[in-house]
Structure 1
Amino acid sequence: MIEQVTPDSATTTETPPGGLLLVVDDNEMNRDMLSRRLLRQGHQVEMATNGREALAMIESHTFDLVLLDIMMPEMNGYEVLEYVKSDPLLRHIPVIMITAVDEIESVVRCIELGADDYLPKPFNPILLKARINASLEKKRLRDQQVAYTHQLDLENRRKSDELEQARQIQLSMLPTAPPVIPYLEIAAQQKTASEVGGDYYDFFPQPNGKLFVAIGDATGHGVGSGLMVAMTKASLMATEEAELTDLIKKINRVLTRIDLGRQLNMSLMVLEITPLPNGSVTVRASGGGIPPIYVLRPGGMAEEVLISGLPLGVMEEANYTLTEFTLNPPDTMLLMSDGLPEIFNTRRELLGFKQLKSALHQFDVTRLSAEQILEQVMAVGDGWAAGYPLQDDVTLVTMKVK
């Protein structure tokens, strides 16, 4: 029989400030005495006369604490305790075992089965209150931890969803394959880090034979960087500016005026490549905040072409300069984001531009294709990392004059 004890007429009908407790004992006198003491302490109390009834109640109610007698018919306290503590949905409920003073072996067995505490008979009011309050406080702290962990899981899931959205935005901004250009071999590759960065590259062939190439890196991670990339691509596709510096200034103004509640910027370089009748090509470049262009020439030459200027989106009235140079067959340009020189090894040492340039001197551009050069440059980074995880996206574009 399942019983519920309610406060007498002298008590309030409002919900007591304590917990919801279940008293399980086949002895009516013990049940009644213990329950009334608990009511006076401000708890709600329900009662069960044996273990089987107790389990039915535990599975259908949300109890804060169970006080469980050991010796009962049908199902004893050991069996109830073992069942509760083996169930992942119930094991967090504190269980205080009720036992005789001289039943030390029973106490030990209960503790081994997972009991949180025990109360000796006859009940000492002070000890009863202290042990119940301690168990309820333990459960309260545990419930707080569970709620905090749940909230943290929700926040992590939200951030993961945001990063996945940003990754999809980023990937949609990239070309599926380099364009076919009569005077150039082109290869491109991007390795993404565990979190979404904001690396971007793109190609814009023109009807007059020119090729515009963009490469950049938005600061930060998540939707913000994805939005910076999207705005940059939209500006590149929509612009009608003839001069590269004017184009860069226009994109800079657009990005500066984006208000995302935090400072974001875009390291960006745009190149205008023009074929010449003699087989050479001229390259005009402008931008800011981007690693240098590396020009590989026959004989192991590796030249740095610096592109000076602030990252776009930092200052609306920033100035940008134009850099021009000429390439002859089989000269090869390397464009990269800062993820390559900033690769770490297992000792947390950076690859750096100096070591990267030293490795580039070993490449024979006369013999290697653009794709092979790209693979060898990527191999330099992989060899340096030696398995250490990427901290940022690595983007590389190689263009070899045919």
Structure 2
Amino acid sequence: MHFLIIDDNREDREALKRFILKGASGNGSDVTFEETSTIAEAFSALHQNRPDCVLLDYMLPDMDGLQALGLLQQEFNHQLCIIFMTGSGNEVIAARAFKAGAYDYVQKSGIGPDFYTTVKNAVLRAKEKEQEEKRKQELVEKNRQLREAKMLLEERQRELIRMQLQASITMIDIEQENKRKAEEIEAAKRLQLSMLPVKPPTLSNMQMQMYLQTYAEVGGDYYDYLETENGDFYIIIGDATGHGVMAGTVVAVAKSYFHTFGHQMEPADLLRQMSDGIRNLKVRNLYMGLTLLRIRGNEVTISSSGMPPLLHYSAAEEKVDIHVFKGPFMGSSIAFEIQTEILHVKKGDGILLLSDGLIELFNKDHKPMGIEPVQQRFLQSAPYSAEAIIQNMVALKLEWTAGEINDDITLISVKFLT
């Protein structure tokens, strides 16, 4: 069992370790410790190594312990087992600690030989909660698979495209006639969420993590993935113009083409087909930027137009390269060639895909972030997991702005394991 002790009093930290070690030895359990004196150090430690239990002191030099407790649980999605400690008893503080997400509350003066049992019980409760959340996610995924299987049995591929295009046109008419009635917005939101993957894939050769924060009720950002029978793996990310039902229309078209023809065409050819499909809707100012990746072994084929740069981390060279793809949005009537690049990746390499929501995010001085801070943060976090990379990008977003966004933000992190 691994512990993170957050306490600026060295003597208290040593006392905590003695009691835990004594209790663990009686149970034949192995324990390890990591210690920090400040919350800033703790955040860094937690992003690198998630402990089984965090022992958090109330009095810290850089932040009030209760405030720190809330920030820690918010940053790590309330998945940390935290035991809150104070020097003396206080029922008000105890109640606030439990409300902020503490699994237990102890007074340092009352810590004794049974402290290890208290800690072990808190960890067991945390693991039970984690298993319960996992079962809920598995149920959501199974329901999604059943819905997709039903669709595949009932409709042919080309009939699906025709029906979705007709539904898309109908959605545009509804928006124009009824000015985004509340019930239609809610229906469109459910449609958009149903078109996005519920969770990242589980693959042996790489990790993939996704993140989406929408600006409006129904956003225009889209991401998806597809694994073929021959082992090829496809990733797509896109950004439709505008928000609302019309943006959802373009997303529906892109998803239809991606799942119907994704495994049959070269990436650039598929983007051209999508562009034709969007243009054939014959709706003014309806466009979409798209980036499509095909991963075949250690070869990554990238085709993109109308999207922000792609970032590639080389583990061997310990650097991040920015790949810029020039071109108009899909659906444009302008004749153009879709740029394609091929990367040969190695173990430890990583790729970061993003929509323009992050790099165009304004700070309090109304200055856009740009690509350089993203490149620097990616370089710092690239050695870690795909999930940790996304968490670092979200942290960068929070550092740049107080939480308000001016566009959808989509991120996809890919980490190659072989």
TM-score tier after normalising by the smaller chain length: 0.5 to 0.7
3-state DSSP class of the match of 2:251?
Answer: helix
**Pairing 1:244–2:267 present:** yes
Change in CA separation of 1:157 and 1:253 when aligned onto 2, cut-off 3 Å = closer
1:386 and 1:272 mapped to 2: Cα distance? 36
**Pairing 1:257–2:275 present:** no
2:196 and 2:180 mapped to 1: Cα distance? 25
- The alpha carbon displacement at 1:186 in A equals 0.8
Q: How many residues align?
A: 239
Which residue, out of 262, 282, 292, partners 2:309?
292
- The alpha carbon displacement at 1:231 in A equals 0.5
- The alpha carbon displacement at 1:238 in A equals 1.6
The answer to whether the Cα contact below 8 Å between 1:231 and 1:255 also exists between their aligned partners in 2 is yes
Which letter maps to 2:411?
L
The answer to whether the Cα contact below 8 Å between 1:288 and 1:311 also exists between their aligned partners in 2 is yes
Which residue, out of 273, 278, 283, partners 2:300?
283
The answer to whether the Cα contact below 8 Å between 2:312 and 2:321 also exists between their aligned partners in 1 is yes
**Pairing 1:373–2:389 present:** yes
3-state DSSP class of the match of 1:272?
Answer: strand
- The alpha carbon displacement at 1:208 in A equals 1.0
Which letter maps to 2:322?
E
Q: 2:412 — aligned with what?
A: 397
Q: Deviation string for 1:221-248 (max 9, x for gaps)?
A: 1111001000010011122643221111
- The alpha carbon displacement at 1:345 in A equals 1.5
Written as runs of structure 1 = structure 2, the 5 A alignment for 1:138-287 is: 158-239=180-261, 241-260=264-283, 262-275=284-297, 281-287=298-304
3-state DSSP class of the match of 2:356?
Answer: coil
Change in CA separation of 1:283 and 1:181 when aligned onto 2, cut-off 3 Å = same
2:242 and 2:379 mapped to 1: Cα distance? 33
The answer to whether the Cα contact below 8 Å between 1:334 and 1:396 also exists between their aligned partners in 2 is yes
The answer to whether the Cα contact below 8 Å between 2:378 and 2:389 also exists between their aligned partners in 1 is no
3-state DSSP class of the match of 1:295?
Answer: strand
Q: Deviation string for 1:81-112 (max 9, x for gaps)?
A: xxxxxxxxxxxxxxxxxxxxxxxxxxxxxxxx
Higher helix proportion: 2
1:205 and 1:318 mapped to 2: Cα distance? 29
- Report the TM-score, using the length of structure 1 for normalisation: 0.56
Which letter maps to 1:208?
N
**Pairing 1:356–2:374 present:** yes
Q: 1:93 — aligned with what?
A: none
1:156 and 1:315 mapped to 2: Cα distance? 29
Which letter maps to 1:322?
T
Which letter maps to 1:386?
A
2:373 and 2:413 mapped to 1: Cα distance? 19
Q: Percent identity?
A: 33
- The alpha carbon displacement at 1:349 in A equals 1.5
The answer to whether the Cα contact below 8 Å between 1:285 and 1:307 also exists between their aligned partners in 2 is no
Which letter maps to 1:375?
Q
Change in CA separation of 1:169 and 1:355 when aligned onto 2, cut-off 3 Å = same
Which letter maps to 2:310?
I
The answer to whether the Cα contact below 8 Å between 1:374 and 1:398 also exists between their aligned partners in 2 is yes
2:325 and 2:272 mapped to 1: Cα distance? 15
- The alpha carbon displacement at 1:319 in A equals 2.1
1:222 and 1:232 mapped to 2: Cα distance? 16
3-state DSSP class of the match of 1:359?
Answer: helix
- TM-align CA RMSD: 2.0
The answer to whether the Cα contact below 8 Å between 2:301 and 2:341 also exists between their aligned partners in 1 is yes
- Report the TM-score, using the length of structure 2 for normalisation: 0.54
The answer to whether the Cα contact below 8 Å between 1:286 and 1:321 also exists between their aligned partners in 2 is yes
**Pairing 1:342–2:360 present:** yes
- The alpha carbon displacement at 1:265 in A equals 0.3
1:195 and 1:347 mapped to 2: Cα distance? 26
Show structure 1 runs of 5+ residues with no match. Answer: 1-154, 276-280
Q: 2:399 — aligned with what?
A: 383
